[in-house]
Chain A
Amino acid sequence: MLLQISEPGQGPDPHQRKLAVGIDLGTTNSLVATVRSGTAQTLPDAGGEHILPSVVHYGSQCTMTGGEARRLAAEDPLNTIISVKRFMGRGIADIQGLNGVLPYRFTRTDQGMPFIETVQGEKSPVQVSADILKTLRRRAEETLGGELLGAVITVPAYFDDAQRQATKDAAKLAGLDVLRLLNEPTAAAVAYGLDDGGEGVIAVYDLGGGTFDISILRLHKGVFEVLATGGDTALGGDDFDRCVASWILQHSGLDMAALTPEEQRKLLDAACEAKVALTDEECIEIVFKDWCATLDRKTFNSLIDPLIDRTLKSVKKSLRDAKLKTVDIDNVVMVGGSTRVLQVRERVAELIGKEPLTNIDPDRVVAVGAALQADVLAGNKSADDLLLLDVIPLSLGLETMGGLMEKVIHRNTTIPVARAQEFTTFKDGQTALAIHVLQGEREVIETNRSLARFVLNGIPPMPAGLARIRVTFQVDADGLLSVSAREQSTGVEAYVEIKPSYGLSEGQITNMLQDSYAFAQEDRSARKLLEARVEAERIYEALESALKKDGNILLLPEEYNHLLSEARRLAEATKSQDVEFIIQVTEQVAKASEVFAGRRMNAGIQAALSGHSVQDLADSVDNSDRLEE
């Protein structure tokens, strides 16, 4: 078999286009988008609706998502999960700290996220999110007519490690391969930036249903460099609703505690309707139970102003972090449904001194940006046109003596990043060290988020202070942290145990995967086979294009031939029905091509240094007919 190699400069055939989507997994609404015929579009469901309300109803007979689930919220509030994003990567104490009405019954677990009790049993927030993602995956696969290669899933920029990990776990449960977790404001900037071909400093103000983000970016020749980011993962349009709900209770003389869960839901719905109506109307009549009153825009504005103040404080803080002044901002972009509230737009315009841009639908702009990034990552579009350099939103560090946090990586550091810090033993003969990983800005550990606790075992016994334990933090492009530790003076690699404080364990995820397949009656083995094939094809195609591009330059003939035959072996393996075999060959081929990948990166850097392309470097190298077999 010959490898098929297309002419340089030619894109892949339309039918060979990889199906990749961008998914905005929002607190209130979710969307899926993809690039078709050169433009990114959100995909509607069979009924023509683009927006999927982020609601899951667990009935005794079936599971429903979206609008039909939303309609059951008032009738069956305990089994209808709304705004689940607020619980992702959170402990029971955080959730109880969320102000406002939460009708759900939570099950306290030993550690990690509390589960929600439903008629279908206990559901983790990760499972609920996975059910929303599954609906969007099916929608995309039905519309596009094929298996998805993967998805870019957006998260609030201010999400911490636990919240990001929970989102990635949800995607895994939904059978989605995550090409990248992308920060929502960065996605929005991509949608605007590529649209206008603009340059300069962009501020993205993203106020969603439950989260607020602010990102300051510099756009230059297709590179989006995030300078600073900030926000609040527990502030959004839901809080506007709660302000109005409190106003209703106060003026009607009703008591929240005396309301049934159904009535509480209706109260919040009435508040939300009033908020939306006040964008167009000067005043609105609110009816709740047998009480009725008029709310005017001025009063509404005064109710929500304290919340807007909090967002503007974050904007100022991020500007300081970016070492910029308001006059340095060239464009302000408004994202998220809550930026439809006029008072929000006016106050942002007042602070920055510029009219915010709203020409892309604030509900869809994040999904559109994610789709553009997915298109690049899937290899459909040249990566030369777009590069995103994002930052870590919150500092990462370790607990030291006295309950203080020692920062290892500071907030707004560009990712990927790797930093190491050395520690020593406290007692003579100490053979283990407890390591506590934290995320946050404060000095005292209690006010920061606990991410994980490690025990480093196997330190050789020696006097106190002599051991040199190097703890390395690495944050990848998804903003996810991994930590490793080793004892330096003896070179002994010590054993590291990780216990995520707010996540799900591998075992829990595996169990949930099995349960979800059983429940949905999907053919599990067929699914596994498809996944293995998609991964194998991805590795094959990456290797094929790399061999075509740089193979004859960077590899000796025998190395080239070896990789070529490995690529063929993989292509053959893909046809097999044996899942384990495909996975095994994929692993082997990926490993075999590692050295080549390393050389390509080195050569790329070398070329950049000399100001030439890799091709130029190759001109002196004999590149005879190695491609022909």
Chain B
Amino acid sequence: MSDIPIGINFHSSFFELFGIPLHYNVERSAIHGRYLELQRIVHPDRFAGLGERGQRLAVQYAAFVNEAFDTLCSPLKRALYLLEISGHPVDIEKNTVMDTAFLMEQMSLREDLAEVRGCSDPEAAIEAVRERAEALMGSLKEEFVSYWQQGESGFAKAADCARKMHFADRLLTEAEQLEEDIFDN
């Protein structure tokens, strides 16, 4: 079977799958076209005639493509993925020693979020928290890239960045959930 052109398989990286260089900076709009192209090929609807087995296989492929797209579009997942495929997987639950400045910023954001419900304009208050968390995420992204580019010597610091991103990401999710709760009532 060696002379048969076998394509990308489950072991190829998400970057290869999307035909982009192995780099942290990925623009959603730049890979969206490729995403649709890949789904056109692997989506289970393309294999409706193949019966249950074919469907199962296509579901796995399509899920793989979706996972890849989702990972590449998320600043946090992308960072964790890059570290993982370079042999430095991060256990997000462990080694959570953060520098003081970051912890202070975290606490201040959390306090603001906790006080949202008492505000006269809760929506604006959430928006303010969100903007700050987004800004934090933005600077973490830049920081990550600079450590990442150092190669082996920068991986540990890049991993710290990813952990901080995890905090920022969770804060953004909580802000969203809170907004929803307020909106629903």
CB–CB B43/A389 < 8 A: yes
Are B63 and A538 in contact, with the CB atoms below 8 A? no
Main secondary structure of the interface of A (DSSP, over half): helix
> How many residues in B have their beta carbons less than 8 Å from beta carbons of A?
47
Cβ-neighbour of B51 out of A441, A474, A538, A599 (below 8 A):
A538
Residues on B lying within 8 angstroms of A by beta carbon are 1, 3-9, 16-17, 19, 34, 36-55, 57-64, 66-67, 69-70, 179-180, 183
Q: Contact at A414–B57, with CB atoms within 8 Å?
A: no
Name the contact of B41 in the complex, choosing from A223, A539, A604 (C-beta under 8 A). A604
User: A183 to chain B: closest CB distance in Å?
Assistant: 13
With contacts A414-B66, A417-B66 taken as known, whether A601 is within 8 angstroms of B58 at the C-beta atoms is yes
* CB-CB under 8 A for A591 and B38, given A416-B63, A417-B66, A606-B7: no
Q: A389-B36, A539-B51 are in contact. List 20 more A-B contacts (CB 8 A).
A: A387-B40, A387-B45, A388-B45, A415-B66, A416-B63, A416-B66, A418-B60, A535-B51, A539-B49, A542-B49, A554-B4, A590-B54, A597-B47, A597-B57, A602-B8, A605-B41, A606-B5, A607-B41, A608-B37, A609-B17
A342 at interface (Cβ–Cβ under 8 A)? Answer: no
With A and B bound together, what is the CA distance between A416 and B46 in angstroms?
A: 13
- Complex: A220 Cα to B40 Cα, angstroms: 13
List chain B residues, Cβ under 8 A from A389: 36, 39, 43
CA distance A230 to B8 in the complex (A): 35
B63 with A417: CB separation less than 8 A: yes
- Is A453's beta carbon under 8 Å from chain B? no
- Report if A278 contacts B (CB, 8 A): no
A513 in contact (CB, < 8 A): no
Give CA–CA (A419, B67) in the complex, Å.
8
Cβ–Cβ contact A474 & B58, under 8 A: no
At the interface with chain B, which of A130-138, A235-243, A324-332, A377-385?
Answer: A377-385
Interface centre among B1, B47, B48, B179 (most CB of A within 10 A): B48
Residues of A within 8 A of B45 (CB): 180, 373, 376-377, 383, 387-388, 477
B84 to chain A, nearest CB (A): 14
Residue-wise interface mask of A (434-457) relative to B, using a CB-CB cutoff of 8 A (1 in contact, 0 not): 000000010000000000000000
With A417-B66, A602-B7: A220-B36 Cβ-Cβ less than 8 Å: yes
List of B residues within 8 angstroms of A384 by Cβ: 40
Size bin of chain A's contact surface:
35 or more
Closest to B65 in A: A605
Among A387, A474, A555, find the residue whose CB has the most chain B CB atoms closer than 10 A: A387
Cα distance A594–B3 in the bound complex, in angstroms: 19
Residues 579 to 596 of chain A near chain B (Cβ within 8 Å): 586, 590-591, 593-594
Give residues of chain A (227-256) contacting chain B, Cβ–Cβ below 8 Å. none
Give A342 to B148 CA distance when docked, in angstroms. 59
Report the separation of the CA atoms of residues A413 and B70 in the bound assembly, to the nearest whole angstrom. 9
B51 touches A416 (CB 8 A): no
Q: Which residues of A contact B58 (CB under 8 A)?
A: 416, 601
